[in-house]
Amino acid sequence: MKKTKTFLKVITLWYNLSMDNVSHEDLYEPRPKLGTVCYFLGAIDSLCQRWDMDDASFAELSVKFFMNKEQYFFNDIANHVLMNYFGKNHRVEFATISMVIGGNAFRDWIDSSEPSSTATETLSELITEWKKKPNLGVDEVPLMTKIDEE
């Protein structure tokens, strides 16, 4: 329990630093919103891997993170991504790449000897790119919605 609280504080700090250069208006488009969720899921996964946490701990930490009031804007999508990408194995290249970039940026920030590392600028750069093609492809839309059991 104490470890989870500490990890939530670290991820929330990373979130606040990363979102500092982001206009929230940019996050109402589907691709930037989904990409941002996946970016932070990648950071959470990186933290969990670093501390040898299992998948259940990753899921618990992710749900708790997105339930915080600062991140609640993303909560529904985060829950769908957790269920569809991880639970139903609906893997989409855009989501995978966003998670990897988020995990790598988080790791670079944690490993940096300078607290003002430029790793936190990565998200705003990505959102600028994602806004150029704001709509999702047909394979990406299911990540943001409830997929019925087959």
pLDDT tens figures, 40-94? 999 999 999 999 999 999 999 999 999 987 788 888 889 889 988 888 888 999 9
The mean predicted confidence, pLDDT, of the chain is: 88
Domains in the chain: boundaries = 16-133
The span from the CA of 11 to the CA of 20, in Å, is 14
Top mean-pLDDT range of 1-10, 111-120, 130-139: 130-139
In 3-state terms, what secondary structure has residue 71? coil
Supply the pTM of this predicted model.
0.91
Please check whether residue 99 is in contact with residue 48, taking contact to mean a CB–CB distance below 8 angstroms. no
DSSP letter, residue 139: T
